[in-house]
Every structure is written in C-alpha cells, then in structure tokens.
Amino acid sequence: MAWERIVGATDAAQHNKQQIIESEHLMKALLEQKDGLARRILTKAALDNTSVLQATDNFIAQQPKVSDPSNPRLGTSLGSLLENARKFKKQMGNDFISVEHLVLAFPSDTRFGKQLFTSLNLSEKSLKEAVEAVRGNQKVTDQSINIILSASKINTFYFFY
C-alpha cells in the first residue's frame, strides 16, 4: 500500500499541474485512501482527516504550477522523507516500507510535514503512540506487490527491495 500511495503522490502532483513530486503530494495521496492506514493513524492521534486534507490542499495550491506537468520528478523533500521512512522500517524490524513508516517520517519533513503537524498540535510522541495503537506488534515481512516503478511514471525514482 505504501508504494501505491507513492504513485498516488505522482497523480496528485500532476493533477495540480506540478512537476516536482513532494511530501505534500504524498500526504494527499495517503489521506485520499478512504479506509487507509494513514487515516486510521491520524484519527487515533485525535486529528480530523478532513482538516488535515484541507491544510494539505491549501499548501499544494500555494506551490508553483507548470503548463505541462508530464515527466514528474522526485523532489528533495520527498526523497528525504522516504529515506527517513527507511530508517523507521529498520528500527521497527520490518523488511519493507509501509504506510506507518511514511507517516512517522512526516514530522522530520522540513518542507511540509513538520509545519503541518505543528499547526495541528501533534507531537512526534503522540504520532508514535497512535502508530503503535493501530499497528500493534505486526511486522512488514511480505511484499504484496512488485515494487519496481517504471521510469515513465516517475523519473529518477526507482526502488528495489
């Protein structure tokens, strides 16, 4: 599901006529999955998903637009967020990155995530507690989909696990 949401971030960027895929696009993709894990985590952390999505949409609307959003590129902030998600994957003893790792990486995202969670009064500690409450002791040890994203979908964005 994490990789599906990353591809969804590409769609969010293109829909908003933005060529650089950034962390705010990933948050939008996570929140648009109606029964998704990210929404359950944020609800458990006492956040209203509609308000979080509105704040995300507002941030996206303020970003530069291009006339032709084809050939999307991975932004530096999203790249850093994904690297932090990998660290959470390792800390939690998982074999693959999952949605909860992505969510946990947002407070360290200096472009969007930190600002978002600060404005919503959500601490890293509360977020971690919400993840633990929703996730329990489950480990991500199985890859349910093939995790090779094509270069035609996201340039310079390859993951091989």
27-86: pLDDT as tens digits: 999 999 988 999 999 999 999 999 999 999 999 999 999 999 989 999 999 999 999 999
Residue ranges covered by each domain of the chain? 2-135
* Fold category of 2-135 in CATH: Double Clp-N motif (1.10.1780)
> Residues 77, 111: contact at Cβ < 8 Å?
yes
Q: How many CB atoms lie within 10 A of CB 109?
A: 22
pTM of the model as a whole: 0.85
* Contact in structure between 145 and 3 (CB atoms under 8 Å): yes
